[in-house]
């Protein structure tokens, strides 16, 4: 295989209603038939897109925005959060009325029994409110934690916890990642394993957590529905995800 393409999930592979467009599935099948290696690069946890991997028959992925990388079904890179610092942040956030959701590669647990922000944020991804376990972080490797607060309120945490990256993905929710962690770092691990040259690496994305990824690859493609910051950095802007964006992008790149 001479080329590799990484695809984000939400707003890229999945449309605005979190469905997989028929044209996208057809494009992925054609891409693989053309001998191109296909992988996923997402902020989601592995358990949150297992169904999609099965449908598209993809066994290699960068998850948790680069913190947990799997090649052909086998983990090749793990970058967990500092549990001591997560505990500190959790207690401080609790005092401020900001709940968190702890995540490992298998499942997620909420620090509170119920919160409207958790329900709305995860509900947008078609996930139910996680079960309550405020000690889930103890003696477990966590690869991402979600902080639930309104826009602007993460500024305090960003200034107080330099060990972490804070990336907003919803009006009520922010990803907490290890500092320096990104999809780009996870992609580097997989590209090293496969031995691809940078110019043969492509990536499609739409969000703020795709900025480093789009810059790290040879050809970065922004969806038509991307945030403006991503469109500025991308080598190419394709159509909206709801307008067969993946298919048209791959066609324009002459990969299908």
Rounded Cα gap, residues 178 and 59, in angstroms = 25
In this structure, the chain runs to a length of: 256
Rounded Cα gap, residues 171 and 187, in angstroms = 27
Task: Retrieve residue 200's tokens.
Answer: 């043969």
> Is 15 assigned a catalytic role?
no
Task: Retrieve residue 71's tokens.
Answer: 């090649």
Q: Of the residues 8, 10, 206, 244, which is catalytic?
A: 8
CA dihedral 64, 182, 172, 10 (to 10 degrees): -60
Rounded Cα gap, residues 252 and 222, in angstroms = 13
If you compute the radius of gyration of the chain from its CA atoms, what whole number of angstroms results? 18
What are the phi and psi torsion angles at 18 (to 5°)? Answer: 65, 30
Task: Retrieve residue 46's tokens.
Answer: 């592995």
Q: Which residue in 149, 46, 165 sits closest to 105, CA to CA?
A: 46
Paired sense of beta strands 236-237 and 219-222, if any: parallel
Rounded Cα gap, residues 225 and 244, in angstroms = 12
Active site residues: 8
């Amino acid at each position: 295989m001479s080329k590799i393409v990484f695809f984000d999930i939400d707003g890229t592979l999945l449309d605005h209603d979190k469905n997989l467009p028929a044209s996208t599935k057809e494009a992925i099948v054609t891409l693989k038939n053309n001998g191109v290696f296909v992988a996923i690069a997402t902020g989601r946890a592995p358990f949150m897109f297992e169904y999609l991997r099965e449908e598209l028959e993809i066994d290699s992925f960068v998850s948790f925005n680069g913190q947990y990388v799997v090649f052909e079904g086998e983990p090749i890179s793990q970058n967990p959060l500092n549990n001591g610092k997560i505990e500190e942040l959790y207690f401080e956030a609790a005092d401020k009325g900001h709940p968190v959701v702890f995540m490992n590669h298998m499942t997620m647990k909420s620090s509170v029994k119920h919160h409207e922000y958790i329900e709305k944020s995860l509900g947008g991804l078609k996930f139910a409110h996680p079960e309550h376990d405020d000690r889930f972080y103890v003696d477990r490797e966590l690869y991402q934690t979600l902080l639930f607060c309104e826009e602007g309120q993460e500024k305090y945490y960003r200034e107080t916890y330099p060990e972490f990256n804070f990336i907003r993905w919803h009006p009520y929710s922010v990803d907490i990642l290890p500092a320096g962690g990104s999809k780009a770092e996870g992609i580097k691990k997989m590209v090293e394993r496969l031995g691809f040259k940078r110019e043969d690496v492509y990536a499609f994305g739409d969000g703020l957590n795709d900025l480093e990824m789009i810059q790290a690859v040879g050809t970065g493609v922004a969806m038509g529905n991307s945030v403006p910051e991503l469109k500025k950095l991308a080598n190419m802007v394709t159509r909206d995800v709801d307008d067969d964006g993946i298919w048209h992008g791959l066609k324009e790149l002459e990969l299908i």
